[in-house]
Structure 1
Amino acid sequence: MKIKNVIAIALLTIGSIVNANAQKLSKFGGLTEKKIGPKTIKVPYTDMVSYLGYASPGNEDETRENKKFYYIYVWIPAVAPELGIRMMSPVGKAKIKNAIKSKAYTDNASSSEYFDTYITLERSDIFSKDKISETAVSNAKWTVLERNDDSSEMPKQPSGSRYNSLLRYKSEASNPQKALTAGLYRIGFTTYKTGEVKGTFLAQVAAPIKLPGVVMAKTIEALKKEL
C-alpha cells in the first residue's frame, strides 16, 4: 500500500473519531453532587426538553454587545430550584429522543455547518402566559441570569475544539431579581467570535424536578400555539 493511501486512511479515521465525539452527549447533571466509590458525579437532571434548530445569517433576532443574537423562548410553568442549559453545534448524527424539531432544522438536518456557541439564560418580567404577546415581549425587561462560552463538559466540535456551551443556574429565592419563578424565559445564543452564526444546533433545558408544561419555541407565535 502506498504511503499516500496510508496517510489518507489515517486522516479519515481521525476525522471519524472526532466526528463521533462531537455527536455523543453525556448525561446532563446538575449542581448537586454525589459520591460513588472514588468518583464524585453531578446527579443527572430528572426533566429535560430538547430543541433542534438551524441558525443562518440574516435571521438573527437582535444585535447587542456587537454580536448577532438569536433567541429560543421558553415557558417555565412553575418555580424551579435550578435550571441547566446546554447547546451543541452541529447536531450531526446525534440521536435525541422526543426533541422539538424546527422547520429550519428539518430543512437543513444534513448540513455539516456549525458555530462556536455562546449562550445566555434570560428571564423576563412576564409571569403569566396570558400576558405573552409580540408587543409585550419586545417591551419586556430581560435579565441575564447566567452565561457561558466554552464548556469542558461538552463534546468536542468537528474541529477538535470544545466550543460547545453549558450553564447551570440556581435560584435565589430571597432575591426576586434572581429567583427562578414561573414565567417567560429565553435562551440567547450567538458566537463568541466576531462573525456569522450558521449551522445546526441542539438546545436543552433541564431541571432537577419534574416541570410539566415546559414549552420551547423559536418565535412567540409558535410558543403561543403550544401553550
Structure 2
Amino acid sequence: MKKKFIVSLAILLVGGLSATQAQKLKKFGSSVEKKIGPKTIKVPYTDVISYLGYAESGNEDEVKDNKKFYYIYVWVPLAAPELGVRMVSPTDGKTKGAIVSKEYTENASSKDYFDTYITLERSDIISSDGLTDSSAKGANWVTLERNDDSSEMPKQPSGSSYNSLLRYKSELGSPTKAITAGLYRVGFTTYKTGEVKGTFMAEVAAPIKLPGVVMAKTIEELNAKIAAE
C-alpha cells in the first residue's frame, strides 16, 4: 500500500490535481436502493451531521492494537433502523452546517491528510444522566462495523481511494447489535503504520429524522450539547 501511495502521489504532482478537486462528495446514500430509469441509486440519508476536525500526534484518545485511535462521540436519543458513517481527508471545510472544531480552525490551511480507517462503536450507556469522561472510558464498547477503503468515496489527492464509508443496519433481535438510544462513538485511525495527521470531515447519518442527536469530540462538549437540546 505504501509503494502504491508514493507512486500515486508522484503522478498527482505531475498532473497538478488539487485537494479540493479530488474531494467532491456526493450525497450520503443509505443502503436502500431505488431504480430510476436505467440507473440504480442509493436513497440519500435524510438526517446528516457533519464534523470538521484535525488529527495529529498528541491529541489521540487511545492506543489500541499498536495504533493511535481518535474518537468522536455521538448521543443517539432514539432507536434508528440504520446509521451511516463516512470520513474524508483532507477537507476544504466548505460543508454547510458542519460542526467546526477548534483544532480544525487552527489548522484549516494544512495540506496534510491520512489514510482513513473508521469504526462505529456502541456503548452500554443508555442514559445521559451522570455521563462523564470516566464513565465513557469505563463503558463496555462494541464495534458494530468498520471500513478502511471505500470506492464510493472520492479519491485522496494521491489518487488513491483511501477514504472510508460504512453503513450499519440495526439488528432488533439482538440487544447488543440493535441501534437504540445511547452513547456511540466514531473511532478512527490510519490503515498504514505511522502517524495520523491532517484535516478531516466525519459524517454520521440516519434514514429518518432523529431529533436530539448530537456529536462532539469530548464528553464535556457532548453534555453541553445534550443540555442545550
**TM-score, normalized by the shorter chain, greater than 0.5:** yes
Matched residues, number: 216
Query: Is there any run of 5+ residues in structure 1 with no aligned partner, and where?
Result: 1-9
Paired with 1:161 and 1:38, the residues of 2 have a C-alpha distance of 29
Matched with 2:79 is: 79
The code of the aligned residue for 1:117 comes to: T
> How far apart in 1 are the matches of 2:144 and 2:16?
37
What residue ranges of structure 2 are gaps of 5+ in the alignment?
A: 1-10
Aligned position for 2:180: 181
Equivalent in the alignment of 1:15: 16
Aligned residue in 1 for 2:52? 52
Alignment correspondent of 2:134: 135
- Aligned position for 1:115: 114
Sort the Cα spacing of 1:106 and 1:118 in 2 relative to 1 into closer, same or farther, 3 A. Answer: same
User: For the residues of structure 2 that align with 1:146 and 1:211, how far apart are their CA atoms?
Assistant: 20
127-136 vs 45-54, greater mean Cα deviation: 127-136
Q: Is the 8 A contact 2:52 2:99 kept in 1?
A: yes
For residues 85-109 of structure 1, what are the alpha-carbon distances to aligned partners after superposition, in whole Å with 9 as ceiling and x for unaligned? 00000003x5201000000000101
Shift of residue 23 of structure 1?
2.4
C-alpha contact 1:52 1:100 (8 A) present in aligned 2: yes
Q: Percent identity?
A: 71
Contact 1:151 1:166 in 2 (8 A): yes
Larger Rg: 1
Equivalent position amino acid for 1:14 in 2: G
How far does the alpha carbon of each residue in 1:92-140 deviate from its partner, in whole angstroms, 9 at most, with x for none?
3x52010000000001011110000000000000001113111211110
Moved more, 140-149 or 211-220: 211-220
Work out the CA distance in 2 between the residues paired with 1:115 and 1:76: 28
Contact 1:52–1:105 (CA<8 Å) still a contact in 2?
Answer: yes
Q: Which residues in structure 2 correspond to 1:1-227 (within 5 Å)?
A: 14-16=15-17, 19-92=19-92, 95-227=94-226
Q: Distance in 2 between matches of 1:198 and 1:11?
A: 20
Q: CA deviation at 1:204?
A: 0.2
